[in-house]
A and B are shown apart, each in its own frame.
Chain A
Amino acid sequence: MNEMDRMRWSCRRGLLELDLVLQRFLSEEYPLLDSKQKETFGRLLGIPDNDLLDLAMGRADTTDEAFGEIVQLMRK
């Protein structure tokens, strides 16, 4: 199974803003992640849309250190 393809579909969301943020992340940041970071990103995608967008836009923060690193990359 092509993990990138699965991930690409997991990045289809209910909010346009999130589609755009995740599309950029997937093409620019995701390929550079190590396997542990990729797994963390996969878990991050389990967060509900509005909460995830708040994280990506810097309107909220996460206490999870592993998430924090990925969130910083999403905010770039």
Chain B
Amino acid sequence: MSYPVRKFDAVIVGAGGAGLRAALQLSEAGCKVAVLSKVFPTRSHTVAAQGGVGAALANMGDDSWHWHMYDTVKGSDWLGDQDAIEFMCREAPKSVIELEHFGMPFDRNENGSVYQRPFGGHMQNFGAGPPSQRSCCAADRTGHAMLHTLYQRNVRSNTHFFVEWMALDLIRDESGQAVGVTAMEMETGDVVIFHSKAVLFATGGAGRVYASSTNAFINTGDGLGIVSRAGIPLEDMEFWQFHPTGVSGAGVLITEGVRGEGGYLLNKDGERFMERYAPNAKDLASRDVVARAMATEIKDGRGCGDESDHVLLKLDHLGEELIESKLPGIREIAKKFANVDPAKDPIPVVPTCHYMMGGIPTNYRGEVVSPAGDNKEAIVPGLFAAGECACASVHGANRLGTNSLTDLLVFGKSSGNSTVKFLKENASHKDLPRDAGELTRERLDRLNSQTNGESVAEVSAALRQTMQKNCGVFRFPELLENGVAEIKDVEQRVMRTEISDKSKVFNTARIEALELDNLIEVAMASLVSAEARTESRGAHDRADYAERDDQNWLKHSLWFKEGNRLDYKPVHMDPLTAETIEPKVRTY
């Protein structure tokens, strides 16, 4: 018996900023588009974005998209594709103005123009400075405002939302063209085939592969798992952005301002260890130096707690009064999420995963590309991706602050436009392959019939610990090697997960098991790619290869699920119209 079929022109998986922006292009062009989302659209993780949208509007002083481009290429440690980066930085001001016209409540200057705040890494004059005020924001709720604005606009355009639906697998026909997805309605447990002419993934990040992550629970890399099972590689998965101090076990960030006000880090021996790593700056050393030192202490067995897996951030010596006045909110965060009162006891902290630079390989038009024959970037017909789940690649080896919202606005729109164009050129639905839905059926049957299997919660925890311990902010060869071996064990366990509750209705245990199927692909891709890349570049920081190696590694990694193998493809060094920004040493 095959699954029931519903027909749409296009299916978009994910309803965060990128999915909503793409959906708008399609709906406004008159296409019949279905948007699938695990949660209500305005509860997507975009809501967590506070910083703003980077765009060279020049409302606060001189600015130019060329400068924004330079900062982004430098931030990416030259791994970003310069055509995509030019496209993003050039389009960003238009995207912001457009959003303003949609009703986005940006903060404003007295003259009515959009206010822009300064942000780390954004400079005038090709990095020479002074700093550029380039971030357009709506107080500290930019992502929240953006989601609400885009959602309302989609409602106006009659986008069909399927809320609390989880996409499970991609359907490609014999030629490789994307012709739909299978998805499960959570309320009923029913699976439906969404038969479409085009599929667009906008499923966001996958930070839940780490034990300590700022990402919401929904960020399980569903789009990445789905495409990797369908034969499409994942690009640059070794590059993850970390924040040095998240609450151990929870992931909630403790602002770096705590160290600015005199807080300092201790290992299990009570030693203020930053004095050894940075004798002058100590705990005020740059973010990467602090994170590296913390990782080294933990790796060398000087971590705290039963698992020796974190260090302590001490601030009780600052006194209750200063903590309350200079660090508002920190006390309540520590009490709530670390269960300690920082006016009395230190906060357990650990480097915490924040953002995924890699993802589904696309070009700057949001078309998914995959190697075919001699062509490393053959377009997969009918398949598109945008936002954090995609790798265009604009962030390369490290993302510049504010560029995540810029990315999802610009590439949400461009992938939407590419999809509209594709639909015009491909007016009719291609037939579903005879085995459409079979992979999903096999996965669900396996899960439902598994006996003597593994607990989803336990295997998930093992996956997150493996990533946290072996593929963290600072990487050691023996740990990477160990991590690859461990994650292969975890993979075997994922294939044997068992759920005790087999009911169909709102079965969260089943959903979490299906999410784990996606997390394992992300974790495997990350560890295998990281172990192979014998250099340090951007967020990939290795103890045994401290330098960037452009001779051998100025290239993108591509990880394939089939055969668990790697391939590589060149970085696009040629922008669309601007001059190439030649690699040089990246210092701030």
Binding site for B on A (CB under 8 A): 1-2, 5-6, 8-9, 12-21, 48-50, 57-59
A15 to chain B, nearest CB (A): 5
Give A5's nearest chain B residue, CB to CB.
Answer: B506
Q: Which of B37-45, B263-271, B537-545 lines the interface with chain A?
A: B37-45
Q: Which residues of B contact A8 (CB under 8 A)?
A: 506, 508
Contact with A along B204-244 (1 / 0, CB 8 A): 00000000011111100000000000000000000000000
Q: Which residues of A contact B503 (CB under 8 A)?
A: 2
A48 to chain B, nearest CB (A): 6
Q: Which residues of A contact B506 (CB under 8 A)?
A: 1-2, 5-6, 8-9
**Residues 35-92 of B at the A interface (beta carbon under 8 Å):** 38-39, 42-48
B508 touches A50 (CB 8 A): no
B405 to chain A, nearest CB (A): 14
B216 touches A13 (CB 8 A): yes
Binding site for A on B (CB under 8 A): 38-39, 42-48, 141, 144, 147-148, 164, 186-187, 213-218, 250-252, 329, 332-333, 336-337, 503, 505-508, 511
Give B50's nearest chain A residue, CB to CB.
Answer: A50
Give A8's nearest chain B residue, CB to CB.
Answer: B508
A6 to B148, CA, bound (A): 24
Q: Which residues of A contact B39 (CB under 8 A)?
A: 12-14
Q: Is the interface of A mostly helix, strand, loop or mixed?
A: helix
B44 touches A20 (CB 8 A): no
Give A14's nearest chain B residue, CB to CB.
Answer: B47
Q: Is the interface of B mostly helix, strand, loop or mixed?
A: loop
Q: Which residues of B contact A14 (CB under 8 A)?
A: 39, 42-48, 147, 216, 218
A38 to B337, CA, bound (A): 24
Give A11's nearest chain B residue, CB to CB.
Answer: B217
A9 touches B216 (CB 8 A): no
Q: Which residues of A contact B147 (CB under 8 A)?
A: 14
A59 to chain B, nearest CB (A): 8
- 24 A-B residue pairs with Cβ-Cβ distance under 8 Å, sorted by A, are A1-B505, A1-B506, A2-B506, A6-B187, A8-B508, A9-B164, A12-B38, A12-B218, A13-B216, A13-B217, A14-B218, A16-B213, A16-B215, A17-B337, A18-B216, A19-B216, A19-B217, A21-B336, A48-B47, A48-B148, A57-B332, A57-B333, A58-B332, A59-B329
B210 to chain A, nearest CB (A): 12
A9 to B507, CA, bound (A): 9
B216 touches A48 (CB 8 A): no
A14 to B250, CA, bound (A): 15
A13 touches B252 (CB 8 A): no
A16 contact from B44, B48, B505, Cβ within 8 A: B48
A52 to chain B, nearest CB (A): 10
A9 touches B43 (CB 8 A): no
Give A52's nearest chain B residue, CB to CB.
Answer: B43
A35 to chain B, nearest CB (A): 18
B47 touches A20 (CB 8 A): no
Q: Which residues of B contact A12 (CB under 8 A)?
A: 38-39, 43, 216-218
Q: Which residues of B contact A49 (CB under 8 A)?
A: 42-43, 47, 144
Q: Which residues of B contact A59 (CB under 8 A)?
A: 329
Q: Which residues of B contact A2 (CB under 8 A)?
A: 503, 505-506
A65 to B535, CA, bound (A): 59
A26 to chain B, nearest CB (A): 11
A20 contact from B48, B250, B508, Cβ within 8 A: B250
